[in-house]
Amino acid sequence: MTPRRAHLALGLFVLVAMLSLTWPLSVWFAEPLPLVLGLPRGLFTICCWAAATFVALLAYDRVLSKDREQEDA
């Protein structure tokens, strides 16, 4: 993946995550039941966003680090 695409992908991810964590998309997980892995659906979804953000940032950082290494070389 090129750095440009990585920027776009991260931007899109942040936008969707922000919408989901604030209002419009989160209405669907507002109801607590049925519990998922013992957690209310809203709390479970927020945890999923935390994990997904970690993975997205990790992937983004890898792409940019490789690009920086190539530039340095």
Partner 1 sequence: MSADIQIMGVVGLYLALSLFVGLRAGKGVSDSATGFVVGDRAMGGVLMYFVTGATIFSAFAFLGAPGWAWSRGAAAFHILAFGILGFIPFYFIGPAASRLGRKHGFVTQAELVAARLGSRPLALVMALVSLLAFIPYLALQMRGSGHVLEVLTRGAIPMQWGAALVYGVVLLYVWRSGVMGVGWTNTLQGLFMMVLAWTLGLYLPYALHGGVGPMFAKIAERDPGFLTLPGRTPDGGDWSWSSYGSSVFVMAVGFSFWPHLFQKALAAKSERVLRRTVVLYPTFQFFLLPILFIGFAGVGFDPPPEQADQILPHLLLHMDLPALVVGLFCAGALAASMSSGDAILHSAASIVVRDGWIVGFGRSLSPHAERRAVRLMLLPLLLVSYLVAAVFPVDIVGLLSYAYGPVGQLAPPVLAALFWSKATGRGALVGLVVGSMVTIWFSRFPIWPVHAGLLGLVANVVLLVSISVLAPHWGERFPRKR
d(CA 47, CA 49): 5
Choose which of 5, 8, 12, 32 interacts with partner 1 (CB under 8 A).
32
Contact between 17 and partner 1 by CB under 8 A: the answer reads yes
Q: Which helix (H) or strand (E) holds 15?
A: helix 3-22
Of 5 and 61, the one with the shorter C-beta distance to partner 1 is 61
C-alpha angle 43/53/12, rounded to 5°?
110
Given the rule CB under 8 A, which residues bind partner 1?
A: 14, 17-18, 21-23, 26-27, 29-33, 35, 37-40, 42-43, 46-47, 49-51, 53-54, 57-58, 61, 65
